[in-house]
Amino acid sequence: MFYDCAKNDHGLKHDPFKACIVPRPIGWISTISKDGVVNLAPFSFFNAVSESPPMVMFATNGSHRHGGLKDSLQNAIDTREFVVNLATWDLREAMNATSAGVESTVDEAAVAGLAMAPSRLVKPPRVAASPVHLECALHDVVELPPARYGPNHLVIGRVLGVHIEDGVLVEGRLDLSRVRPIARLGYHDYTVVGEIFTMMRPA
């Protein structure tokens, strides 16, 4: 099949675009508002974009359910800081709970029953149970063409510091089989890293 994205004439029950780009890492982003309210939300448009300097991005699609920009974006703009928390199999239900569209005055971490830990270089706290955290300073926000359901923004951050739980480090390497990160597929589907294989690049 072929469909024209401008016409979105695929004729399927659900738009297949996101199911074609998989798996997508989940950026579980914690921010803090100017008034000190913690916000925690998962974004499936997330990835690393540079190793040196280390930089990451996440994209917010659409408006806040109660109007205005989404809290993660607004807080990042206001404070110029955010933290990426690694979403894992053990934390999947809590991660999903933080995706609820609640008022800006609601702390999603508290709603999900998650303890938060202080960061070292930025003000937003970290999900204590997550084994990996990236403390980030806002580098830039790029406005993208608007979505069918609101504004689109690409948020780029420079990673200032990295936390890794000692128990997931084996012989000097991050052992992802112990971490079991989860990722987003299409529709309402997710996957978990279970099988890992190694290939060396050609010389």
Residue 66: predicted pLDDT: 66
Cβ pair 113, 69 in contact under 8 A: no
The secondary structure of residue 89, as a DSSP letter, is: G
Average pLDDT over residues 144-165: 93
**pLDDT for 49 beyond 80:** yes
Per CATH, which fold does 17-188 belong to? Pnp Oxidase; Chain A (2.30.110)
Q: What does the alpha-carbon distance between residue 25 and residue 11 come to, in Å, rounded to a whole number?
A: 28
Q: Find, among 175, 156, 128, 143, the residue nearest to 27 by Cα.
A: 156
Average pLDDT over residues 177-200: 94
pTM score, two decimals? 0.93
Task: Render pLDDT for 82-113 as a digit per residue (tens, 0 to 9).
Answer: 999 999 999 999 999 999 888 888 889 999 99
Q: Which helix (H) or strand (E) holds 55?
A: strand 54-61
Task: Render pLDDT for 60-82 as a digit per residue (tens, 0 to 9).
Answer: 987 777 677 889 999 999 999 99
